[in-house]
Structure 1
Amino acid sequence: MQECQKVLQGNLPYNLHIFVNSVQFIARVINALKATPETVKVVCSTSGESRQENQNKLGEDFPISQPSDPVKKINFYTSTCFEGCDIYDENGVTFIVSDGRKAHTQLDISTLFTQICGRVRNSRYKTQIILVYSSTKYSSAVTLDDFVKATQRTLAEAKSYAAEINSLSEAARIKTLSKIPYINEQYVRIEDNKLVVDKNLANIDIVNFKICHQIYATYITLTKELRQHDYKIKVQTYDYIHEKLEKQPSARIPFKDLFNEYCRLKSQTESFFVVDSPAQQRAVIERRNPLVKQAYKQLGIEKVKALKYHVGNIRRELVKSLKIGNDYKIVKMIDMRFQKQEPIPRSQAKENLQAIYDSLGLKRTAKATDLAK
C-alpha cells in the first residue's frame, strides 16, 4: 500500500495502472487508502446486472469509468480491459495483482498476462511490469499429467454418451431429451435437439488447472513460466519461508531463519497490496514455532542474537525471566537440560546443575544430592 500512498502524496513521478480481476479487492484498497474520487479511476464490467453489483461494491462516490476517460493517480482495471483496450499515459506504470486464494485473479502468462503488458501504449515505463502475487494453496497431490488424462477420459465418455443419444431417430431423440431434467455430463449441452460436446471447455479446464495448481503454486514455477515467455526478471522479493510453510507446515526450518523473518515482518506496517498481510504471515510462523513470538516479545532481537539463536539457551533465558522463585526456575531448567529416563554420570549432573546455578546468578556449589531435593 505504500506505493499507492506515495503516489497520492505526489512523491512519485508516475501514475499506477493496476490490473486485478476483483472489484472487491479494488474497493478494499480504496477504503484502506481513504482515497478520493479525484485521485482514483476504476474500469470494470457494466454489462447486465454487473454494473449495479460492482457499483455497490465501490460505493456511489466512485462511479465506474471508461478506459478512454482521463487517467488519474491510481487507475484500476478488471478483466474487461485485459484485452483490446488502449490506455494512454506517458507516466503510467503497470501493476498486475494475483491473489493465490482467488483463482479468477490468476492469469495465464502466455495469453492474458502478455495482453495486459501492452495495454498502456505510450508509457515511458512500458518495458517494466510489476507483478504482485501470492502462491496458491492447492494440494499438489494431483499432477498436471494426471489431470489431463482424467479430463481426456471424461471428454471421451461425453463423446460416447452424445453419440449414443444422437444415433436415435429424431422423434426418439427429442422424446428422450425432453425427459432429461438436466445434462449430467461434463462438456455436453443440448443444441437443436442434439447433444453437442464442447472440447473447448475441456481445454479451459486444463489451462485453469495449470494456472492454479502449477504456474502460481510457487515462486520457482512462476518465475520459470515468465522466463519461458521471454520476460526478464530484474528485481524480485520473495519470502521462501512463508511459501514453504504454507505448502509444508512440518518443513524443517532453522529457528534463526524463522526468527529473522518474523522480525522483518514485525517491522513492516503493510505490504504494497494486502495479498497476505504481515500479520497473516507472522501467524504462519507463530503456529509453526510458538517460541519465535515468545522470544521476540520477552527477550527482544538483540538478546536472541547474543544467544546465537540457540533454542536451549533461549528457553533457559525465558525461564530466568519468569516471576517465580529460584527453586521453581531450577526445576524448570533441570527439566530442559537433563535427558529423560537416561543415566547420566554424577560429574556431568553436577556440572549441568552448576551451570544452572550460575545462569541464575546463585552463589551455590552444585552437589549431586541437590538433584534429590
Structure 2
Amino acid sequence: MQSQKSNEEPITLKLTDYIDKAFKILPNNSFIHKGRCGIGGTHLELKTDRNSILIVPIKSIITDKINSTNEYGELEYPNLFAIKGGVKITDIEEYLQKDIPFKKIIVTPDSLYKIIEAAENIEIINKLYSDFYLILDEAHSVITEYFRESMVDAFELLFNFKNKIIISATPYYFSDPRMEEFSYYRIKFDEPIDKITIINTRSIRACVNAFLTGEMKTKGNLHIFYNSVTEIAEAIELAELKDCNVHCADKEENLEKVYQFFKPQPIKGEYKKVNFYTTSHFEGWNLEDINPTIILVTDVNKPHTKVGISNKGVQAVGRQRIKENHPETKPFAIYHITNHRNRLTFKTLEEFKDEYLFDANWDMEEYNRYLDACKTNNREPNKDKTEFVKRYTTLDKEIGYAKLCYQKTDQFINESACNEEFNHIDYIQQAWENSGFQTDVLEHKQTLEKTIQRKTKKSVKEILSDFETLDPENRKNQFITFADQALDKLINTQPTLYKAYQMLTKEEINSTDYKMDEIKKLLILKDNKDAEMKVLKLLPLTFSVGNRYTKDYIKAKLQDIYNKAGYKKNATAEQLKNSDWYDTKPCKVKDKEGKDKNGFEILRMNFKLRVSTRQD
C-alpha cells in the first residue's frame, strides 16, 4: 500500500548510498520518503550544526543512539540529550539553558510534553518553536500505532515549529490539508533493495514448522517476525525447540506462554539459532548477524498477525544492517510466509480516503448537532455516542464540540488499505515490488495433519505416566541402558512435562485436567513461589522499618530485587503492603531537589526468615 504525491521530487541513489548523498543537511518543511531502513537520516541531523529535537516512536531507538560508538570506540553522539525514564522536567530546563553551540534532544512522543513544559517554565517556548529543527522520524508510526494518543499529539505539535521535517522509510501520505505546504522528496535506488520470496502456503503452521525443523534449507540464524505470542509458543512446542529467543512485550500473559525463552531486547552476539519477534520489535533496532535468514509471517485468519506490508512488513525485514564490501552482512534470504483470501477485488487507498473522510465528517457534524440538542434540552450527552465520534475526532475541552482529526482518520484508512493487500497473492507481491523489492513466489502445500497426529499420539497423562515408569526410583526389571536412553529421549522431547513431573504433586497435576496451558501456569506459579523466598531474603537489605521512601525509589528497588530473584512480576510501590510483606502508611518524602514526593513509611515487617544454623 504505497501512494505517491504528484509534486514529489525523485532522487536516485546507489543502494549502498546514505542520505547525505542526497542532502548535505535535511531540508526545512519537507517530507522525505527515504526509500530504505538504515539510510542515516537521524545520523545526518545529529551531525548538523543546529538545534534539533528528534521524535522517535520507541525507546529502543533512543537507547541505540545514545550507545552508538564510532570506529574508535568513542560515543558517536556525546552531546545527545536523551529524554527517557528518570529524566525530570527540571533536568530539561537545565539542559535548555546550557551554553553549548548546538543542542540535540531525542524523545518519544510519550515524553514530548516534558520539553514543552520545560520551555514554558523558563519562558523560552517561542524560541523553542523558532530555533529548534523538529524531526518526526519513522512518521508512519502516527497511523500504525493507533492505540497511542501521544503519536497524534506529536503530529499536531509539529506545526508549531517554524522548521520541521517528516521522514520515514515506509511513509504514509497524510490527509491533513496542512501537509500541502510541505516539499516532498522520494529516494529511489538503482537496483532492488533486496529479493523477497513470498511463500503462498496452505498451512501457516506447517510452513513455519518446516523452517524450524530444517526441512526448508537455510543458512545462518533464523529471525522470524510473527505478531502472535500464542502462535510462537505453539510453533516452539511443535518443533520441539530446546533453545531460542522470543522478543515480545514484557506482559504477564506473554510470559505465561514463553517465559523460559523471553528476552527483553535483541543484543548483538546473543542471537540463537531461532529468534522470534512480535511487533514491539519490528522496528527501531539494528540486526547485525552473519548472513541471517529473515522471515515475516502473516495469516489472514489471525488479524493481529496481518501487518501492513508497506510499513510494518518492510520495517521488519529491513532490520539487518548491510555494509558495503562486507558480504557477510547481507541476509542469506528473506521470506514472507503468508496465505490470502483468493479474492480478486481491490479497493485503492484513495477510495478508502474518500470513504472514511466522508463518514468522519458526517459523524462529526451529526454529533455536534446532537450536542446542541442536548444543551437545549439540558441533557448529558450519551457516553456511547461520544466514544463513537472520538474514533475520528478530538473534542473541545471547554464546549465539547467534535473537530475532525485527520490523523485518527488516517489510521482507519491505512489499516483498511493494508488489509486489502491480503485479498490475493498477486496484491501481496505487488505491495513488495512497490516497496522496492524483487519478488519470487513459491507454493507450499504441506499440512500439519500427519505431524500433529504423530506428535499427539500420546496424551499428556500417558507421557507423565511414562516419566513415572522410567524414573530410576520406580524401575523394576527394565534393562538399565534401555531405560536410561528412553528417559533421556523423553526428557529431550517433552521438557515442559518433565519439569511438571519433577516439580508438581499428583494432586496439582490432576487439578489441571492434564491441559498443557494449565500445567504451564502452575509451573510459573511454582517458580514464582521459589523466587519469592529469594525476594524475602533481599527485602530487609533494602528497606528498613521506620524509614520513609518515595514511591519511585520503592518501585525501582523492588524491580531490581525481582530481577535478581527471578521473580516474574512488574513492580509497584504498593506491593510492599499488598503482598503482606510490610505494614506501611502513605507519607511525603523530600527528593534530592527538596521537593515533596508521595511515598510510604514502613511501620513493621510481616515476615520472618528462618536462618540456618547448620555448619558444613
Tell me which residue corresponds to 1:211. Answer: 418
Tell me which residue corresponds to 1:42. Answer: 246
1:152 and 2:357 correspond:
yes
Q: Which amino acid aligns with 2:230?
A: Q
List aligned pairs for 1:121-200, cutoff 5 A.
121-122=321-322, 124-126=329-331, 128-136=333-341, 147-161=352-366, 164=369, 178-182=380-384, 183=386, 184-185=388-389, 186-190=391-395, 192-193=397-398, 194=400, 195-200=402-407
Deviation, 1:149, is: 3.7
Corresponding residue to 2:253 among 47, 53, 64: 53
List aligned pairs for 1:291-370, cutoff 5 A.
none
Instruction: Give the Cα–Cα distance (whole angstroms) in 2 for the partners of residues 99 and 163 of structure 1.
Output: 40
Gaps of 5+ in 2: 1-208, 323-327, 453-616
Deviation, 1:147, is: 4.5
SS at match of 2:275: strand
Corresponding residue to 1:6 among 214, 219, 222: 214
Change (3 A) 1:30 1:5: same
Q: Which amino acid aligns with 1:27?
A: A
Corresponding residue to 1:31 among 231, 237, 257: 237
Instruction: Give the Cα–Cα distance (whole angstroms) in 2 for the partners of residues 134 and 231 of structure 1.
Output: 19
Task: Encode CA deviations 1:69-108: one digit per residue, 9 max, x unaligned.
Answer: 7100100001111111122211321100011112222232
Instruction: Give the Cα–Cα distance (whole angstroms) in 1 for the partners of residues 360 and 306 of structure 2.
Output: 25
Instruction: Give the Cα–Cα distance (whole angstroms) in 2 for the partners of residues 32 and 154 of structure 1.
Output: 46
Deviation, 1:189, is: 4.4
Instruction: Give the Cα–Cα distance (whole angstroms) in 2 for the partners of residues 228 and 149 of structure 1.
Output: 22
Change (3 A) 1:125 1:141: closer
1:67 and 2:67 correspond:
no
Tell me which residue corresponds to 2:504. Answer: none
Preserved contact between residue 101 and residue 136 of structure 1 (Cα < 8 Å) = no
Deviation, 1:53, is: 0.9
Larger Rg, first or second structure (1 or 2): 1
List aligned pairs for 1:262-273, cutoff 5 A.
265=446
Tell me which residue corresponds to 2:408. Answer: 201
Change (3 A) 1:85 1:7: farther
Change (3 A) 1:266 1:80: closer
Preserved contact between residue 2 and residue 270 of structure 1 (Cα < 8 Å) = no
Aligned length: 233
Corresponding residue to 1:106 among 297, 301, 306: 306
Preserved contact between residue 158 and residue 197 of structure 1 (Cα < 8 Å) = no
Instruction: Give the Cα–Cα distance (whole angstroms) in 2 for the partners of residues 77 and 267 of structure 1.
Output: 23
Change (3 A) 1:191 1:66: farther
Instruction: Give the Cα–Cα distance (whole angstroms) in 1 for the partners of residues 315 and 218 of structure 2.
Output: 26
Preserved contact between residue 98 and residue 105 of structure 1 (Cα < 8 Å) = yes
Change (3 A) 1:148 1:13: closer
Task: Encode CA deviations 1:301-348: one digit per residue, 9 max, x unaligned.
Answer: xxxxxxxxxxxxxxxxxxxxxxxxxxxxxxxxxxxxxxxxxxxxxxxx
Preserved contact between residue 288 and residue 329 of structure 2 (Cα < 8 Å) = no
Preserved contact between residue 87 and residue 119 of structure 1 (Cα < 8 Å) = yes
Instruction: Give the Cα–Cα distance (whole angstroms) in 2 for the partners of residues 15 and 34 of structure 1.
Output: 17
Q: Which moved more, 1:114-123 or 1:71-80?
A: 114-123
Change (3 A) 1:14 1:143: closer
With structure 1 as the length reference, what TM-score do the two structures score?
0.53
Change (3 A) 1:141 1:117: closer
Task: Encode CA deviations 1:21-53: one digit per residue, 9 max, x unaligned.
Answer: 1111111101101112xx20000112xxxx101
Instruction: Give the Cα–Cα distance (whole angstroms) in 2 for the partners of residues 83 and 62 of structure 1.
Output: 21
Instruction: Give the Cα–Cα distance (whole angstroms) in 1 for the partners of residues 222 and 211 of structure 2.
Output: 9
Tell me which residue corresponds to 1:358. Answer: none
Preserved contact between residue 23 and residue 54 of structure 1 (Cα < 8 Å) = yes
Task: Encode CA deviations 1:177-220: one digit per residue, 9 max, x unaligned.
Answer: x54323132413445243343222222212211222x2111111
Instruction: Give the Cα–Cα distance (whole angstroms) in 2 for the partners of residues 142 and 218 of structure 1.
Output: 12
1:117 and 2:317 correspond:
yes
With structure 2 as the length reference, what TM-score do the two structures score?
0.34
Corresponding residue to 2:294 among 81, 94, 100: 94
Q: Which amino acid aligns with 1:100?
A: V
Q: In percent, how many aligned pairs have the same letter?
A: 20
Bigger strand fraction: 2
Bigger helix fraction: 1
Instruction: Give the Cα–Cα distance (whole angstroms) in 1 for the partners of residues 418 and 314 of structure 2.
Output: 14
Gaps of 5+ in 1: 240-263, 272-373
Q: Which moved more, 1:217-226 or 1:186-195?
A: 186-195
Preserved contact between residue 93 and residue 126 of structure 1 (Cα < 8 Å) = yes
